[in-house]
Structure 1
Amino acid sequence: MRTIVLKEEAQSSKSTIFCGEGAFEKELPRFLAGYPQKLIFTDSNVERLWGARIREVLGDVPVFVMPAGEEHKTEETLFSLLKAMAEQQLHRTSCLVMIGGGVVGDIGGLAAALYMRGIACFQVPTTLLAQVDSSVGGKTAIDFLGIKNLVGAFNQPEAVFADPCFLSTLPPREVRCGLGEMVKHGALSEELFETLLARRNELAALDVPADLIADNIAFKASVVAQDAKESGLRKSLNLGHTTAHALELAQKTRSHGECVLLGTIFEAELARRHEKCDDGYLHELVSLCKEVLGGIPALPPAKEWTPLALLDKKNTERGTVVVTAPVARGTYRLIALPFAEYAREAEEIQARLC
């Protein structure tokens, strides 16, 4: 098992991340022993697949189950959870244990930040995406007014338990979803990118080695430690995400990770047009994205999804779209484009790709 300590440079607090077999069954109970009251927060998919095992490991702990799915990442679910926490009479010495994917972690982390102005929380990510990305770094949020992650807070969990046992029940689409974020990390780290290229056949076969998961967690933790509140370096983790979020909003049948892979392809092509780039590197990156995707899927017309890029939180001016684009190994640029230019070029890129 690998242990990673995430300590923010400007803060005294730290978050410990356990990666590997036994993280859930051995390490989590040890951490929870010091809390007199606990509430488990999970979703209906995890409860169906893992509920019995969770009770075997953690005993008779109250459980609040939300309906599974991004469409339930709402204020209604948040306040239902807060109500359950109050009904269980949790106090500041209590803790919330989030067992699930990114939606569970986002809502649970926000609820823990709000309840009594903050109680301890622990994350047990059960999807590949949550293990390598959303459980690390303390970002929490709900979607509001049709906009992703509009209401949220930064709230680091006390500890994260990334156990590969949960990945055994993931469908292929969810594995591909997590691979999208792993490829994004590779685009930002020269060393990690070379590792991904060397193991591309495993990734294309949706076979994800445990050591590669730990490497991705360590990379993201290193970025967050330097810039927890996304004022500088952490913005790099938005690579590919402006276009990804627009595609995700327009085509709800695509997973977040699949859209990140597509967004990375589109924004790499935008980088070619607006920055001095390493063309060989971009070719390798785009090829890797396509392999993991299994090819470019059918997309809605660009005129339908490009306006949704205007809603992205990374934009700094009205009518401007900002993308975090790869330009060379381990190097990115923030590119600000007038919306008309972004929409025209995205349409041209899509016509060539599809």
Structure 2
Amino acid sequence: MPRIEVGGPAPYPVTVERGTLERVRVPHAQVALIHDAGVPERWVRQVEQALSPALSVQVPARDDSKTVTVYADVLSQLAQAGLTRSGAVVGLGGGATTDLAGFVAATYLRGVAFYSLPTTLLGMVDAAVGGKTGINLPEGKNLVGAFYPARAVWCDPQVLETLPPAVFREGAAEAYKHGLIADPSLLERVLSPDFRPEHPAFEDTLADAIRVKAEVVTRDLTEQGERAHLNFGHTLAHALEAVTHHGMSHGFAVGYGMHYAALLSRALGGTDLSSHTRRFLAWQQPSPLPELSFDDLSPYMARDKKADDQGVRFVLLHDLARPYLARVPDTTLREVYATWQQDCTAFALSPS
């Protein structure tokens, strides 16, 4: 049973163990369970039986839940149920749901305990670990939020066996990203036939991918420096999500975004790692790119959370496991975008 400790001002454990949803317990008499419509009924019922929540709230699946309207509605339901400051919020679902549930916990009564039960690969490797919570605005992704770590995170690989193959492949983007920025051993392991929830080696690979993020956020919880490296590929990815009104999923957008970042890294003199990102995209088979010009996406990239008063910054790579932040000239961004578009057409990726 791999167990990863996330340090910092409020340390907490991340447990990776099959069957953990049946055994989950929290030390609170009042519990509000927030789960999304995409979670199979059997998992919702198991958690409800384990926790006996005073309130069980279903929200839309994926980013449809990360809106001001849904956020306000959930807060109202907690207030109507009489959840007190000694109560707890438990998020059960994909990364969008744990983001929303964490933000609800961070702001309801100025903060109640939060626990996370991610049910997607993307949620386990990325969203549920690190304390970032929040919702989206029409102007961009994750523009409203708070740093609010969970008290504990439980990852049950068994639930991943019920995911559609495309959703599982989508989530692998964050694990592969962790290989590019910190642990190159993950690159082969993620693309291996062994990378499937039912394989005995899967738990260790999943735990190692989570460990990369845990170690980074332990050193830099509030993204004052190193934590920004976890956003490799995300500047373009978040723009793709926003301009398509989340018609493109996060994991597929990150897959495309990592390739753009790899090409930018090469253009600025780094090692050419684009063969890795091409290989990942061929394996991932993301949904086809819509017809978009650079000017369609640039306003959204300008609102990226890594931007400052001097402009947009990208996470790039000098080499494997050597990330850095840089401002890239507009001419280079446009030239590389043209190459990236040609590459993505040449991949002839099949629809998910």
1:20 matched residue in structure 2: 17
Q: What's the CA shift for 1:47?
A: 5.8
> Is 1:160 equivalent to 2:157 in the alignment?
no
Aligned residue for 1:202, secondary structure, equals coil
Partners of 2:179 and 2:198 lie apart in 1 by 17
1:314 matched residue in structure 2: 306
1:253 matched residue in structure 2: 247
1:2 matched residue in structure 2: 2
Deviations 1:91-111 (A, max 9, x none): 121111111111111111111
1:328 matched residue in structure 2: 319
Check whether the contact 2:181–2:322 (CA below 8 A) recurs between aligned residues. Answer: yes
Task: Give the direction of change, closer, same or farther, for the CA distance of 1:295–1:45 in structure 2 (3 Å limit).
Answer: closer
Check whether the contact 2:170–2:284 (CA below 8 A) recurs between aligned residues. Answer: no
1:263 matched residue in structure 2: 257
- One-letter code aligned to 2:33: I
Task: Give the direction of change, closer, same or farther, for the CA distance of 1:142–1:184 in structure 2 (3 Å limit).
Answer: same
Partners of 2:195 and 2:160 lie apart in 1 by 16
Check whether the contact 2:105–2:111 (CA below 8 A) recurs between aligned residues. Answer: yes
Deviations 1:83-130 (A, max 9, x none): 111112111211111111111111111111111111101000011000
Aligned residue for 1:52, secondary structure, equals helix
| Equivalent residue pairs, number | 341
- One-letter code aligned to 1:326: L
2:51 matched residue in structure 1: 58
Deviations 1:302-347 (A, max 9, x none): 33334432221212246x4321112312011222124454234312
Aligned-residue CA RMSD (Å): 2.2
1:223-262 matches, within 5 Å, as 223-251=216-244, 252-262=246-256
1:141 matched residue in structure 2: 134
Task: Give the direction of change, closer, same or farther, for the CA distance of 1:174–1:87 in structure 2 (3 Å limit).
Answer: same
Task: Give the direction of change, closer, same or farther, for the CA distance of 1:14–1:324 in structure 2 (3 Å limit).
Answer: same
Check whether the contact 2:233–2:259 (CA below 8 A) recurs between aligned residues. Answer: yes
2:339 matched residue in structure 1: 348
Task: Give the direction of change, closer, same or farther, for the CA distance of 1:204–1:248 in structure 2 (3 Å limit).
Answer: farther
My pick for the range that moved more, 112-121 or 42-51, is 42-51
- One-letter code aligned to 2:304: D
Partners of 1:151 and 1:98 lie apart in 2 by 18
Task: Give the direction of change, closer, same or farther, for the CA distance of 1:298–1:73 in structure 2 (3 Å limit).
Answer: closer
Partners of 2:321 and 2:187 lie apart in 1 by 13
Check whether the contact 1:227–1:233 (CA below 8 A) recurs between aligned residues. Answer: yes
- One-letter code aligned to 1:25: E
2:349 matched residue in structure 1: none
Deviations 1:208-242 (A, max 9, x none): 72211111111110000000000011010010111
Q: What's the CA shift for 1:284?
A: 4.2
Check whether the contact 1:105–1:123 (CA below 8 A) recurs between aligned residues. Answer: yes
2:168 matched residue in structure 1: 175
Task: Give the direction of change, closer, same or farther, for the CA distance of 1:203–1:230 in structure 2 (3 Å limit).
Answer: farther
- One-letter code aligned to 1:193: P
Partners of 2:12 and 2:149 lie apart in 1 by 7
Partners of 1:47 and 1:263 lie apart in 2 by 30
Check whether the contact 2:178–2:186 (CA below 8 A) recurs between aligned residues. Answer: no
Aligned residue for 1:300, secondary structure, equals coil
My pick for the range that moved more, 323-332 or 222-231, is 323-332
Give the structure-2-normalised TM-score: 0.89
Q: What's the CA shift for 1:283?
A: 4.2
Partners of 1:330 and 1:162 lie apart in 2 by 26
Gaps of 5+ in 2: 346-352
1:290 matched residue in structure 2: 281
Aligned residue for 1:249, secondary structure, equals helix
Q: What's the CA shift for 1:291?
A: 3.1
Gaps of 5+ in 1: none
- One-letter code aligned to 1:155: Y
Give the structure-1-normalised TM-score: 0.89
2:114 matched residue in structure 1: 121
Task: Give the direction of change, closer, same or farther, for the CA distance of 1:353–1:204 in structure 2 (3 Å limit).
Answer: farther
Partners of 1:63 and 1:311 lie apart in 2 by 35
Partners of 1:296 and 1:115 lie apart in 2 by 37
Q: What's the CA shift for 1:204?
A: 8.2
- One-letter code aligned to 2:12: S
Following TM superposition, where does structure 1 have runs of at least 4 consecutive aligned residues deviating by more than 6 angstroms?
203-208
Deviations 1:154-189 (A, max 9, x none): 000000011112112211221112100011100112
Deviations 1:262-318 (A, max 9, x none): 11111111111113x223xx1442243223323794442333334432221212246
Aligned residue for 1:21, secondary structure, equals coil
Check whether the contact 1:204–1:294 (CA below 8 A) recurs between aligned residues. Answer: no
- One-letter code aligned to 2:281: K
Percent of matched pairs sharing the same residue: 31
Partners of 1:65 and 1:97 lie apart in 2 by 12
Partners of 1:334 and 1:295 lie apart in 2 by 26
